[in-house]
Amino acid sequence: MFPRVFLKPKEDMEVAQGFPWVFDNEIDYVKFEQKNGVNKSSLEECKVQDGQVVEVFANAGGFLGSGVINRKSKITVRLIGREHADKITQDTFAYYEEKIQNAYDLRKLYYDIKDSYRLVYGEADFIPGLIVERYCDIKKNVYLVVQFLSLSAEVFRKEILSALTKIIHPYGIYERDDAGVREKEGLQEKSCWLGEVRQEIITIKENDVLLEVDLAHGQKTGYFLDQKFNRAQVAKLAQGKRVLDTFTHTGSFGLNCFKGGAKEVISVDLSQEAIDVVNKNIKLNGAEKKMTAVCADVFDLLKDYEAKSEKFDLIILDPPAFTKNAKNIQKAYGGYKEINLRAMRLLNLNGILVTCSCSYFFDSQRFYGMLMKAAEDSKKKVQILAKYGAGPDHPVLEGYPKSEYLKCAVCRVI
């Protein structure tokens, strides 16, 4: 018998609807086998080893799914399947091969062999804690960047890597397990090539734009792939316009606008390392005559531009998450409102504002409410022309709201 985790009364509702996590304070008791028979104990006293597959049940006894237990984490059980544990463990290599194949087949509906995209999006692809980016460079070599962010992924490392190798046939696999979340799971951080050592810096092509990607040292997994289709839509609005691209990272929004026929593009980031990459990307795309990279604090620069009465036809705000928890929502609200208010003041008549938030905690209701208040305080009227989210390589899992995090609004300011 696999260990059985029983939830407290009424704690099963979210899990039954698709939520893939069980928190420590939701667990009533655990049943597990010992030499003297079946034991029933609290979570703290149970003898189940971290990393073991367990079955999860409602308090009344209804089966909810199977997962991996980790008492070092507040997320004590991450569900890896809605099947009974024996069906999962009888051939874990086949089980994860099927999951990786399903994720790959989904992406092939939207992306071709030359595209770069997120191949596995953790819980939303039913492999909790696993992130896999698929990069295709201009030489048609395929690289994978993998992150095992939870014990539930780490214990099946061999099976996952075997499936990725068999299905994708990558030229190289780089592990970016340098994220602090691993510490919360009781795992060490590490970053290295798995197998053959390849070049760390590659060039990919996105929407006809060439971009340098640092697999080993770039932010998170090297590049933010989730806005690819949004950048293509924004490029269509850039013809003949003066564009301000803020929090630019690698210059991707600005370069897409350049390809879309922008008259002038100014791309801004606080990081000099980011600006160095932007300048390389500007040269890669022959954009030197129309595009400029500026190293500056966006908040300060927007104030300065307003003081100097600078005007733009299209402004892009794509900041990092201003809050990564519920405690700092109000502070984040102030930051989002300030940059949006100032951007509205910097736009010419009927100018276009593309504004984003990648924070799950700053949800859509707060985001669009903030836009309304920013418009009110800047004495402007705003028409929302389109609302976008992350691309189809970041599917939203019903019952798991954290998988829907990105808001991207295209607005006309009048």
Q: Which helix (H) or strand (E) holds 247?
A: none
Residue 397 carries which DSSP code?
P
Q: Are 54 and 77 spatial neighbours (Cβ–Cβ below 8 Å)?
A: yes
- Six-digit token pair at 392? 């189809």
Q: 3-state DSSP: the chain helix, strand, coil percent, rounded to 5? A: 30, 30, 35
Q: For 15, how many CA atoms within 13 A lie in the half-sphere containing its CB? A: 31
- Per DSSP, the three-state class of 334 is helix
Which positions ≥6 away from 12 have C-beta within 8 Å? 58, 59, 62, 64
Separation between Cα atoms, residue 182 and residue 151, nearest integer Å: 8
Separation between Cα atoms, residue 137 and residue 402, nearest integer Å: 30
Q: Are 361 and 326 spatial neighbours (Cβ–Cβ below 8 Å)?
A: yes
Separation between Cα atoms, residue 114 and residue 101, nearest integer Å: 18
Burial class (CB in 10 A: 0-12, 13-18, 19+), 231: buried
Residue labelled with tokens 């191949």: 119
Residue 395 carries which DSSP code?
P
- Six-digit token pair at 345? 């003041």
Q: What is the largest CA-CA distance in the chain?
A: 80
* Distance set, CA 110 to CA 102, 105, 229, 256 (Å): 14, 10, 10, 19
Q: Are 380 and 371 spatial neighbours (Cβ–Cβ below 8 Å)?
A: no
Separation between Cα atoms, residue 22 and residue 79, nearest integer Å: 8
**Torsion 389-410-261-301 (CA) sign:** negative
One-letter amino acid of 220: K
Active site residues: 358
